[in-house]
Amino acid sequence: MIPSISRLLFLCAVFLVPLFGQNYSATTGDVVLAGAGTKFSIQQPATNGRQVQLIAAVVYCSVACDLTQVQNGTAATATAATATRLLPGGGATATATVWTASNSTGGSAAGGILHIVAGERLTIDLSHVAMGSSDTNYSFVVSSITGTANIAVFWSEK
């Protein structure tokens, strides 16, 4: 079986970026929604943070949904998630903070709306998105649905 191009890009990004820094991931897990949406935000710390280089996001919706990406919204303050250090590891804890059911608002659209087919896992190559300045964030917003959504984000810090 030949893997899809998006899967190959994702795997290349995950395995090549360790040359430049420590890799991390975080996820919303499966979020059951009833006429509601959900948002995941990753946030560069205001001070003393390493540069955050996004790698990829994988978004799943059990029903058709729309996904938007937003940059530099207000600082998220709820609901904190846990970043997981990926192998090869042993390095520092992530300095970026991650937020599931994020309350970040505003910001600028980063690209157009992505329409996700029911049951599809969409891999988004973010390898050209770096959060270079302090106190910036990047959010993934799933539209209002009645179904299950899952957002996983992978990044590197150097």
DSSP-derived secondary structure for 52-65:
EEEEEEEEEESS-E
- Report the distance separating Cα 110 and Cα 66, nearest Å: 14
- Report the distance separating Cα 59 and Cα 123, nearest Å: 7
Average confidence (pLDDT) over 66-77:
95
> Is a pLDDT exceeding 60 seen at residue 19?
no
- Report the distance separating Cα 135 and Cα 139, nearest Å: 13
SS (H, E, C) 3-14: CCHHHHHHHHHH
State the pTM of this model: 0.85
Average confidence (pLDDT) over 91-110:
92
- Report the distance separating Cα 94 and Cα 57, nearest Å: 17
Q: For domain 5-157, is the CATH number 2.30.29?
A: no
- Report the distance separating Cα 142 and Cα 113, nearest Å: 10
Q: How confident is the model at residue 77 (pLDDT cuts 50, 70, 90)?
A: very high
Q: How confident is the model at residue 123 (pLDDT cuts 50, 70, 90)?
A: very high
98, β-bridge pairs = 42
Arithmetic mean of pLDDT over the chain: 88
Which stretch, 25-29, 45-49, 87-91, 133-137, has highest mean pLDDT? Answer: 25-29
Give the start-to-end residue ranges of the domains of the chain. Answer: 5-157
Q: How confident is the model at residue 91 (pLDDT cuts 50, 70, 90)?
A: confident
- Report the distance separating Cα 18 and Cα 22, nearest Å: 6
Q: Which pLDDT score is estimated for 92?
A: 82
